[in-house]
């Protein structure tokens, strides 16, 4: 090989290597910048996740603080409600007629309070946090009046608590404004779960306090918890509507204007409920279910459990907790399988109504083990499935742009029907012939014989089964026919 050629090749290779070395820093810097960009993006994502996590676990976050406040509020209510008739008797309510009239006064006050506070909130006169504190403070005072007042104080307390008790309504509204559409269902579920948990624990706790501490202890503790909620709310909910700006009215100005129009025009909302036969049938069934459930209820009768099953008065609290636990189990695990097994919501509603009628008739056996092991689970399954299935049908059939109007009208219809329930129950009591000659201290004058009442309730639920079947089953057949036609076209 020629030495000159070899030296020239070596020089060329050296020049090529030098050029490559000079280009390597550019490559390295490009790679470093790419990794830096990736690291920056990863850091940003991590920061966002950390912020979201810290926001979700912070007790100051509305999605945490509101369920906590609801749990305390509902726990306080659950301490007293199963034992309410005992406080009635202490205040001088001696007849079933007086008790039912108090229930009617409470229902009417709820309608007035909901409309009044809603209008004041929409007009900007009262903030949502203010309404929440009014609910807590009014409830605390009302429960004290139940404990220490006479009959007049009792009437005023029921009016007061009916007017101001808007905890679930206002917290639902606040949580709606502070959650996205994607996460709203999850957080609404937590809000409902907190209320359910309170009703599982509250009645049993109230029963223990009533039996082993003092008869006034449940109401006094409930009143104290309402006061505690005021201070907790002041601490946890910063600003006018809460910890963050997500619930500020200004950010939802257009939606609020639409909401005002919907709330102020009840007749327009009512017409929306009957835009189709199927939707109207579901609305009627929902109102019928709520009315029938209140009409046939025996939980607030003076001595139903005592006369029917020979148990002590405080056992009511244990029964309430047990029934709430059963309902929670149904909500958590059985709704989907039952709906699938029954072939849809319409058939489920009719089947559940029939099951409830049968279980009610079986209560005439006056067998407490049967009531606990078979009848209570059947009642929990049937009532929960009816409520959930009817609500599901409503959301499926209602136009999406009118869903708020329909729910607003339904709320008014259900409250209005609830006002009529005590008068109808009083009529039934008189028809059945209330017992006035018994020495049972728990019984109120005019309450019917428990077996007669159970038979009457079973007849009512049998009629409800027939009516719901006539309203809902044709709708199901029509829906099935429509789906088959669409499948053939496709």
Q: In this structure, which long-range contacts are made by residues 284-289, counting pairs with CB atoms below 8 Å and at least 24 apart in sequence?
A: 284/471, 285/349, 285/390, 285/467, 285/468, 285/471, 285/472, 286/390, 286/391, 286/394, 286/410, 286/414, 287/410, 287/413, 287/414, 287/417, 288/464, 288/467, 288/468, 289/386, 289/387, 289/390, 289/464, 289/468
Number of domains the chain is built from:
3
Claim to verify: residue 309 and residue 416 sit in the same structural domain: yes
pLDDT over 60 (residue 467): yes
Identity of the highest mean pLDDT range in 97-101, 271-275, 342-346, 374-378 = 374-378
Claim to verify: residue 368 and residue 463 sit in the same structural domain: yes
Residue 9 domain boundaries: 1-51
Cα distance between residue 341 and residue 339, in whole Å: 5
Claim to verify: residue 11 and residue 29 sit in the same structural domain: yes
| Backbone torsions φ then ψ of 296, nearest 5 degrees | -90, 0
| pLDDT value of position 481 | 38
Of the candidates 352, 283, 353, 344, the one whose C-alpha atom is nearest the C-alpha of residue 476 is: 344
Residue 57 lies in a domain: no
| Backbone torsions φ then ψ of 95, nearest 5 degrees | -125, 155
Claim to verify: residue 383 and residue 469 sit in the same structural domain: yes
- The residue from 185, 211, 245 where one domain ends is 245
Claim to verify: residue 469 and residue 393 sit in the same structural domain: yes
- CB atoms inside a 10 Å sphere around CB 21: 9
pLDDT-above-70 percentage for the chain = 71
Claim to verify: residue 191 and residue 309 sit in the same structural domain: no
Identity of the highest mean pLDDT range in 236-245, 332-341, 342-351, 472-481 = 342-351
State the average pLDDT for the chain: 76
Q: Residues 400-439: pLDDT tens digits?
A: 666 656 776 777 788 788 888 888 988 888 888 766 555 5
């Amino acid at each position: 090989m020629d030495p000159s050629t070899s030296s020239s090749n070596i020089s060329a290779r050296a020049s090529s290597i030098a050029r490559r070395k000079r280009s390597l820093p550019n490559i390295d810097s490009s790679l470093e910048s790419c990794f830096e960009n990736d690291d920056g993006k990863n850091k940003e994502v991590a920061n966002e996740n950390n912020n979201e996590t810290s926001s979700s676990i912070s007790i100051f976050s509305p999605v945490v603080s509101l369920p906590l406040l609801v749990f305390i509020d509902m726990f306080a209510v659950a301490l007293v409600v199963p034992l309410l008739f005992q406080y009635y008797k202490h205040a001088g309510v001696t007849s079933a007629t007086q008790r039912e009239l108090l229930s009617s006064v409470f229902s009417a006050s709820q309608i007035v309070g909901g409309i009044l506070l809603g209008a004041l909130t929409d007009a900007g006169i009262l903030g949502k946090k203010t309404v929440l504190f009014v609910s807590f403070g009014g409830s605390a005072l009302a429960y004290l009046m139940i404990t220490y007042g006479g009959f007049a104080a009792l009437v005023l307390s029921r009016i007061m608590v009916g007017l101001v008790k808007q905890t679930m309504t206002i917290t639902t509204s606040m949580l709606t404004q502070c959650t996205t559409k994607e996460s709203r269902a999850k957080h609404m579920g937590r809000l409902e779960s907190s209320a359910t948990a309170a009703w599982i624990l509250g009645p049993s706790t109230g029963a223990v306090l009533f039996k082993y501490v003092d008869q006034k202890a449940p109401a006094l503790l409930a009143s104290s918890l309402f006061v505690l909620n005021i201070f907790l709310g002041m601490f946890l909910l910063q600003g006018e509507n809460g910890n963050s700006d997500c619930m500020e009215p200004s950010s939802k100005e257009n939606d609020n204007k639409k909401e005002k129009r919907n709330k102020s025009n009840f007749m327009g909302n009512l017409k929306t409920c009957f835009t189709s036969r199927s939707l109207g049938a579901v609305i009627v069934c929902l109102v019928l279910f709520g009315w029938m459930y209140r009409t046939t209820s025996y939980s607030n009768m003076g001595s139903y459990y005592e006369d029917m099953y020979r148990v002590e008065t405080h056992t009511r609290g244990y029964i309430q907790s047990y029934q709430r636990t059963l309902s929670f189990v149904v909500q958590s695990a059985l709704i989907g399988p039952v709906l699938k097994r029954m072939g849809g919501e319409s058939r489920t509603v009719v089947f559940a109504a029939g099951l409830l009628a049968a279980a009610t008739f079986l209560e005439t056996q006056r067998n407490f083990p049967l009531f606990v092991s078979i009848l209570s689970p059947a009642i929990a399954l049937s009532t929960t499935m009816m409520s959930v299935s009817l609500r599901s049908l409503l959301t499926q059939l209602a136009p999406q742009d009118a869903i708020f109007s329909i729910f607003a009208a339904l709320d008014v219809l259900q409250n209005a029907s609830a006002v009529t329930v005590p008068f109808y129950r009083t009529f039934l009591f008189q028809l059945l012939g209330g017992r006035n000659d018994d020495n049972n201290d728990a019984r109120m004058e005019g309450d019917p014989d428990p077996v007669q009442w159970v038979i009457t309730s079973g007849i009512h639920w049998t009629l409800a089964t027939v009516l719901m079947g006539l309203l809902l089953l044709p709708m199901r057949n029509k829906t099935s026919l429509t789906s088959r036609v669409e499948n053939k076209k496709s």
